[in-house]
């Protein structure tokens, strides 16, 4: 695929992705399109998502948001093809793409749960009741569920109209936390696009590095500096933040 053909392909792909309303539909389309390419071509297409000359365009930002967590994408690409794209990205020196396919555990692990004794009383309530409350309108009870370890409870809270960005940032900042919950936040169609939420996820050492690596592409220079200096974060995340900051300086 020639450079001009690659650019045309990427622009059409990004346009098609942007036209779809749901995350699942976008990730399926991207995965199937990449699966139909040669590994080297697929690696170059993914690398084009990070082109700093187009990163201000809304369509490209939507496409790049799919890079927050590759697990879903790999399902549609296929494990074998994903490995070949990873190897191709290494040969081509496309570090951002190779990191995308690198499985890194969270820099810190621990059991999440309720922070205060008062909130911990919610665990005395059955899981079914907590899930029902998480769909309700009583703000005080919703606030006490922000540290709930159940992904369905958190998913309900994320979609509850009574919840504001302040509460979502609190969930994303919570330490320790569960990878499944961090993924729910990062891929949520409403909250996953908020800058404060992205920043909180990247700066949390309990966030899977794959998610952090995708989201730090959206951070401002000052916040990238904070990531670089934060010794609690995964070394790969800090290195990627350093490279992104240097890239911004040369732009």
Q: Does 50 have pLDDT greater than 60?
A: yes
When pLDDT is averaged across residues 112-128 and rounded to a whole number, the result is: 68
Distance CA 124, CA 9 (A): 54
Q: What is the pLDDT of residue 96?
A: 84
Q: What is the CA radius of gyration of the chain?
A: 19
Distance CA 38, CA 46 (A): 12
Q: What is the pLDDT of residue 14?
A: 87
- Looking at per-residue pLDDT, the higher value among 236 and 115 belongs to 236
Q: Does 152 have pLDDT greater than 90?
A: yes
Q: What is the pLDDT of residue 118?
A: 55
What is the length of the chain? Answer: 251
Residue 14 contacts residue 63 (beta carbons within 8 Å): yes
Average pLDDT, the chain: 86
Residue 175 contacts residue 202 (beta carbons within 8 Å): no
Distance CA 230, CA 190 (A): 28
Omega before 74 cis (within 30°)? no
The confidence band for 239, taking pLDDT boundaries of 50, 70 and 90, is very high
pLDDT in tens, 54-106: 554 567 777 777 777 677 888 899 989 999 999 999 999 998 888 888 877 67
Q: Where are the domains of the chain?
A: 3-100, 117-250
pLDDT in tens, 202-231: 999 999 998 998 899 899 999 999 999 999
* Rounded to 5°, angle at Cα 186 from 202 and 145: 100
Q: What is the pLDDT of residue 58?
A: 62
Q: What is the pLDDT of residue 42?
A: 93
């Amino acid at each position: 695929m020639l450079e001009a053909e690659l650019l045309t392909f990427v622009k059409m792909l990004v346009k098609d992705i942007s036209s779809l309303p749901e995350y699942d539909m976008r990730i399926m389309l991207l995965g199937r399109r990449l699966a139909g390419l040669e590994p080297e071509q697929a690696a170059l297409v993914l690398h084009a998502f990070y082109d700093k000359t187009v990163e201000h365009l809304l369509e490209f930002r939507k496409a790049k948001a799919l890079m927050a967590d590759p697990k879903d994408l790999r399902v549609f690409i296929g494990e074998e093809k994903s490995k070949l794209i990873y190897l191709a990205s290494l040969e081509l020196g496309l570090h951002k793409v190779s990191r995308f396919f690198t499985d890194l555990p969270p820099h810190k692990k621990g059991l999440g749960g309720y922070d205060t004794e008062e909130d911990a009383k919610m665990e005395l309530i059955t899981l079914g009741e907590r899930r029902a409350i998480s769909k309700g309108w009583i703000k005080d009870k919703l606030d006490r569920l922000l540290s709930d370890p159940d992904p369905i409870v958190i998913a309900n809270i994320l979609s509850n109209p009574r919840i504001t960005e302040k509460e979502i940032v609190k969930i994303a900042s919570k330490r320790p936390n569960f990878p499944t919950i961090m993924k729910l936040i990062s891929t949520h169609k409403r909250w996953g696009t908020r800058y404060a939420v992205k920043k909180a996820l990247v700066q949390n050492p309990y966030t899977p590095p794959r998610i952090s690596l995708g989201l730090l592409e959206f951070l401002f220079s000052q916040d990238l500096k904070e990531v670089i200096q934060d010794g609690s974060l995964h070394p790969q995340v800090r290195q990627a933040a350093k490279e992104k900051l240097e890239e911004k300086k040369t732009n």
